Amino acid sequence: MNHQEKFRNHIELKYGKHITNVILDSNKLELVKGHANQLYNRGLLLKNKEKVKELIPKYSEQLEENEWAFDFPGWVGELDFKGSHTKEIMVLGMEPHIGKRDFQVTYGLRETQSGMFCELDEYLPNTMLWKNLYGLFGTKSGYRSKEFLNKFYITDMSHFAVQGKASEMLTFKKWKKIRAEVARTFLPQEIELIRPKYIVSQGNDVADFIEYKFLDKLGKRVAKKTAQEFTTLLPKQCKNSPTFKKYEIFKTELIHLRLPHVGSPNSNYFWTPAQPENRVKRLSGIANELIEFEKNRA
């Protein structure tokens, strides 16, 4: 079985064939435009709640009367399984958002009430997310072209989330266990299939999981640069972010970038301080730190 077949099998296992066959082009593994309308009109999205119940059977009854969110991974263009990297940059968030959609990271579908769903416009860019990512990678060789968006694959630790009665009954502690179990089940193979050159994790919870539960166990860490070693002026609130770590894994090298939430309003103090020029300087500085990190540890 080749990588393309493995990827489709992986996606079908995670989301179900009824979702995958509508969202993905049957031949090229491209996302199909307007897929949410097809899912809603054909009644297929309602079936996904049954798929989620299979993943967390102990709590399946609690998914009936509440809001919930569902995300499919996002990318632009085809997935290239013939090159060294299927997509060069993987952006990893925690889970889908329920409620305000302005800062949704992945292509998102959510049920707002029984039988009613909202779709995040597939081609409407998240201004904060893409400006920050371009600020981090846009100065790198080969990243300034119109093909910039084609380099990304965006997903979450958990591809679904619950709210309302379910979240009240599950409690935050139980939900964290469910989220981690979903990530352990699906993320390792997904990362191996995408073979990214960079992983951008949004926030310390996501970064800790990726490093301690996955990268540190399956790969060899060969280099590290902490926030204290940066020459770029960083805000005091950033704690342990940003940090760069390089691994030898999957017969190639991978750099993990621990960062605050790249596309979230919760990190305004880091990415968008009061003076716009400071934001530009900070992004440019971190971008230069990354270039130097790669150069010095080549």
Q: What is the dihedral of CA 59, 60, 66, 72, to 10 degrees?
A: 100
On whether the CB atoms of residues 109 and 70 are closer than 8 A, the answer is yes
Highest mean pLDDT range out of 55-69, 97-111, 113-127, 219-233?
Answer: 219-233
The rounded distance, in Å, linking the Cα atoms of 9 and 3 is 10
Q: 164 falls in which pLDDT band (50, 70, 90)?
A: low
Residue 44: the pLDDT is 67
- pTM summary value: 0.86
* C-alpha dist (Å) from residue 228 to 231, 236, 254: 8, 11, 22
Mean pLDDT of 249-278: 75
Q: What is the pLDDT of residue 101?
A: 40
Q: Where residue 150 falls among pLDDT bands split at 50, 70, 90?
A: confident
177-212 pLDDT, tens digit per residue, is 888 888 988 998 999 999 999 999 988 888 998 998
Distance CA 298, CA 277 (A): 32
For the chain, the farthest-separated pair of C-alpha atoms sits apart, in whole angstroms, at 55
Domain residues of the chain, as ranges? 3-296
Fold that domain 3-296 belongs to in CATH: Uracil-DNA Glycosylase, subunit E (3.40.470)
Both tokens of 51, joined, read 């798929």
| Sequence letter at residue 286 | I
| Res 110: pLDDT | 59
| Structure confidence by residue, pLDDT tens digits, 208-242 | 989 988 898 888 999 999 988 998 888 776 666 78
More confident of the two residues 258 and 236 = 258
Which residue from 10, 29, 264 is spatially nearest to 159, judged by alpha carbons?
10
